[in-house]
Amino acid sequence: MKVLITGGAGFLGSHLVDRLIADGHNVIVFDNLLTGRIDNVAHHLGTETFKFVKQDVTEYLFVAGPLDAVVHFASPASPIDYLQLPIQTLKVGSLGTHKALGLAREKGARFLLASTSETYGDPQVHPQPEDYWGHVNPVGPRGVYDEAKRFAEAMTMAYHRYHGLDTRIARIFNTFGGRMRPNDGRVVSNFIVQALAGSPLTVYGEGAQTRSFCYVSDLIEGIVRLLMCDDLCHSKPVPETEPSDDVHLPVNIGNPSEFTVIELANMVRALTNSKSPIEFNPLPVDDPRVRQPDITRAKRLLGWQPRVPLEEGLTKAIQYFRDLASGGGTECI
Ligand code: UDP
């Protein structure tokens, strides 16, 4: 297949590039390097199966020749990034999604949207199944990301329903691993970097809020299965008693093992043998109190579930950040 990945120089996008190239596909990356880094894909530059184009995907997109799939990963995704880049975040979720869908339609290509658990906002249903409509503050600071992604989902479904485009929507829950930027601002990278430096671990609020953390290799496996599966991708026929699945509707991809932020802080301190104290800071506005994916649908549709426990994933991520701090080679998935 020939696959265009927008945001392919970002944390998740670049891991998807690696996986698709390893599987024998050709990949083109469009990325404006606003939060992505060329280093993430530098090992593919100059190879026959890879092409990088520095491109803002909110502008008109042109690709010569055929394309089999367009995968739209471009967006700031860390809260501190999208709070600093509110207009760009809204534009890439709206205009960027429209442009990426238009390109997919022009090429007759399959389209996959990287959506988010943030579409559920501060959820009042727990864990969150895909048919929960969410609890989002559209005018709060996080609204720029949440509403952009909700619009992106609506636009994707419209292209599917009105233009017959073959579309997929992955709702990605908190994911971590190598290639997160040390100053990315998300909780896993913050805590590891702080613990390794011996500085205080910055817990927001009382740390009683929960998240469910997925290691990057599990996430990428789920995305690839969703991208590659055909319309009827059940591994076995669905019995009469079970709901039939429409592969075009959103699918949660995440790890259902749920932890409080304090539990995560203590786990990172233990795994790094760090004596860093815990420092309590104000809770950001509209910070979701709980989050846990219901992955029943992904299991049924894709035969997928995460394999890497938090402790194992954290150990790999800690090694990544150690290597990064010592200027050494850093490959981990
Ligand atoms: N958080 C924290 N300390 C940090 C960074 C984040 O306590 O240094 C908290 C944050 O308030 C949230 C959770 O950790 O409750 C996850 O934050 P993150 O930015 O990783 O992602 P989110 O799930 O909020 O998008």
Residue 102 Cβ inside 6 Å of ligand 1? The answer reads no
- Alpha-helical segments (H) within 239-309: 261-272, 296-302
For ligand 1, the distance from its centroid to the CA atom of residue 192, given in whole angstroms, is 13
| pLDDT tens-digit readout, 27-86 | 999 999 999 999 999 999 999 999 999 999 999 999 999 999 999 999 999 999 999 999
Q: Relative to the CA of 291, which ligand 1 atom is closest?
A: 23
Looking at domain 2-173+215-254+292-306, its CATH architecture is 3-Layer(aba) Sandwich (3.40)
Q: Is 71 in the pocket of ligand 1 (CB under 6 A)?
A: no
Strands (E), the chain: 2-6, 26-31, 50-54, 69-72, 110-116, 167-172, 175-176, 201-204, 210-212, 214-215, 251-253, 258-260, 278-281
Predicted local distance difference test score (pLDDT) of residue 304: 97
Which long-range contacts does 183-187 make (Cβ < 8 Å, 24+ apart)?
Answer: 184/11, 184/78, 184/80, 184/81, 185/78, 185/79, 185/80, 185/81, 186/78, 186/79, 187/211, 187/261, 187/264
144 Cβ closer than 6 Å to some ligand 1 atom: no
pLDDT computed for residue 244 by the predictor? 62
CA 175 – ligand 1 centroid, Å: 12
Statement: residue 242 has pLDDT above 80 = no
* Bridge partners of residue 278, in order along the sequence: 201
Q: Per residue in 251-263, pLDDT tens? A: 999 999 999 999 9
Q: Which atom of ligand 1 is nearest to the CA of 209?
A: 15
pTM for the full predicted model: 0.95
| pLDDT(330) > 70 | no
Q: Is the CB of 211 under 6 A from ligand 1?
A: yes
Is the CB of 13 within 6 Å of ligand 1?
no
Which residue(s) pair with 37 in the sheet?
none
Q: Could you tell me the pLDDT band of residue 231, with boundaries at 50, 70 and 90? A: low
Looking at residue 333, its pLDDT comes to: 42
Neighbours of 7 (CB within 10 A): 29
Does position 328 have pLDDT exceeding 70, yes or no?
A: no
Distance from Cα 268 to the centre of ligand 1, integer Å: 14
Q: Are 97 and 167 in contact (CB under 8 A)?
A: no
Cα(50) to centroid(ligand 1), Å: 34
Please state the atom number of ligand 1 nearest to the C-alpha of residue 118: 25
Other C-beta atoms lying within 10 Å of the C-beta of residue 65: 6
Q: Please give the pLDDT value at position 332.
A: 44
Regarding the beta carbon of 310 and ligand 1, being less than 6 Å apart is answered no
Where in the chain are the domains? Answer: 2-173+215-254+292-306
Residues recognised as catalytic: 145
pLDDT band at 233 (very low <50, low <70, confident <90, very high): low
- pLDDT tens digits for range 284-327: 999 999 999 999 999 999 999 999 999 999 999 999 999 999 98
Average pLDDT across the chain, whole number: 95
Q: Are 159 and 111 in contact (CB under 8 A)?
A: yes
